[in-house]
Every structure is written in structure tokens, then in C-alpha cells.
Amino acid sequence: MFLEDMFGLKGKVAVVTGGGRGIGQKVAIGLAKAGAEIAILCRSGADETVKLIEDQGGKAYWIATDVTTEESVDNALSEILNRSSSIDILFNNAGICMHQSTLDATVAEFREVIDVNLTGQFIVARAIGKIMIEQGIKGSIINMASMSGSIVNVPQMQASYNASKSAVVHMTKSLAVEWAKHQIRVNSLSPGYVTTPMSIDTPQELKDAWLPLIPMRRFAKPEELLPPVLYLASNAAGYTSGSDVVVDGAYTCL
């Protein structure tokens, strides 16, 4: 009973952006197993995630959403409130990456990465934060950052991605201070290299270069990010806000 009271999410409604595959999918399933009802916001392709949750007795649905557009996000949240009445947890996960030298990248490509990874998180966090404040919900917002927010990855060149994730970490701290008076906790998660569909599509020569740089000599499994998310989402983290939780196999220690 103690663990259920501290880490259980029964009766909670959790919004997961980018929950159609990879980390978002694993986290959505894990939050559902902990008792939360799951609303997935993504552009397409979350049917599998919903089915996996429902097959295990959970409740989930998804809404086609462009997180970079305020109107799309507002419409999606209105639908969630009509179906679920409240929003208690946000896993702000939608993101993209571009491996390209700064001299070759266009300004449009840079803006696309910033729009999804930073502006999109800002739009969703602000909209859900407003709902939590209006409803008096002591909610939890977890923004997806990256170890790339504090180190420069090699050998790939990804200045736009690194800049976006560094900004996410500091935006998280800023929101944590701003919304502390409303008892809304805001934290970020900074993974290292994870075996996701995004990394599977990465050229093998890059993965061969990354592995020796990781002290644990392996990539993380997506499900290994679930425990820190469950902690941050639950009552167990009642006094944790403004933190950046790094899960990187000790990569950033070097």
C-alpha cells in the first residue's frame, strides 16, 4: 500500500506527446500500468500504443495534434477535458533531431528543430499549466530534454538539437519557479543514447563511435527511462521541482 500511495497514479490523467513509438510509447504504457488514463498527442500513428494499453486493461486514446501550433494543441486539450475532465500529468516528449553541420544547415531547418523541441514544449506546457492552475490541480510536468543539453555530442554535428535541449532544461527550471506557488512541479528528463526507432535509423558508424564513450558500454533501453518518469509523475516526488534527471550511463561524467 505504501508503494501504491507513493508511486501509484490511479485516478490520474496523463498527457503524453509523441507517444506513438519509442520512449513515448514505453512511458505511456508504464504510466497506464501505474493506473493513469492516457491521452496521447501526436501527428499520427498511436493506434499501436493505445491497443497495447487497452490489451493490458488500461484506458487510452490519441488525438492527432501538431504541438507547434497553438490552435491544434488547444483543440486537443479541449477534447481531453471533455472526455477526461482533468489533466494531472504531462510527459512533454515530442521531438526531432537533425545531424548536419551548421554551415550546411539552413535557417529553416534550424527553426524546424527549435519549433518542435522547444516551442512545441512551451506551447503544450503553458496550455496544460493554465488548465492545472484554473482547476487547482497539483500537477506534474515532465519535459523531455537530453544529455545533449549539457554536452556537445561527437562525432555528429547537431547544433540545433543541442541548443533546443539546453533551452528545454532552463525553461523547465524557470517554469518550476514560476508555478511553485500553484503547487505544480516541473522537471526535465535528460537521457543519453537510447535504442529507439530514431537511433536504429542512425548510421552504424555513428553508433560505433558513441559506444566507447559510454562508461557503461551500452545504450539505454526505452523502458529504463520509465522509473524516473514514474517518480517525477507521482506523489513520491512531492518536493522535487526544477530538477534535470540525467539517465545516460555516466556519459556526462567524463
Q: What Å distances lie between residue 157 and 97, 98, 100, 254, CA to CA?
A: 11, 8, 5, 19
**Please, what is the angle between helix 120-135 and helix 159-179, to 10°?**
10
Catalytic pick from 26, 84, 148, 161?
161
pLDDT value of position 52: 98
- Residue 146 annotated in active site: yes
| pLDDT given at position 84 | 95
Beta-strand ranges (E) seen in the chain are: 13-17, 37-42, 60-64, 89-92, 140-144, 185-191, 244-247
Task: Specify the pLDDT at position 90.
Answer: 98
d(CA 88, CA 140): 7
**Is CATH 3.40.50.720 the right assignment for the domain spanning 2-238?**
yes
Instruction: Report how far residue 142's alpha carbon sits from residue 213's, in angstroms, rounded to the nearest whole number.
Output: 27
Break the chain into its structural domains and give their ranges. 2-238
Name the residue among 48, 47, 144, 51 with its Cα closest to residue 90.
144
**Is 158:100 a contact under the CB 8 Å cutoff?**
yes
12 is catalytic: no
pLDDT at 202: 83
pLDDT at residue number 198: 67
251 is catalytic: no
At residue 5, the pLDDT reads: 81
Catalytic residue among 140, 146, 160, 190: 146
Tell me which amino acid residue 5 is.
D
pLDDT of residue 142: 99
- Spell out the per-residue pLDDT of the chain, length 254, in tens: 567 789 999 999 999 999 999 999 999 999 999 999 999 999 988 999 999 999 999 999 999 999 999 999 999 999 999 999 899 999 999 999 999 999 999 999 999 999 999 999 999 999 999 999 999 999 999 999 999 999 999 999 999 999 999 999 999 999 999 999 999 999 999 999 999 876 667 889 999 999 999 999 999 999 999 999 999 999 999 999 999 999 999 999 99
Predicted pLDDT at 234: 98
Closest CA to 124 of 90, 149, 155: 90
Q: What b/e readout covers 40-75, taking b as 16+ CB neighbours within 10 angstroms?
A: bbbeeebeebbebbeeeebbbbbbebbbbeeebbee
Pairing state of beta strands 185-191 and 60-64? unpaired
51 Cβ neighbours under 8 A, 6+ residues apart: none
Exactly one of 26, 84, 165, 243 is catalytic; name it: 165
How far, in Å, CA of 191 to CA of 5, rounded? 27
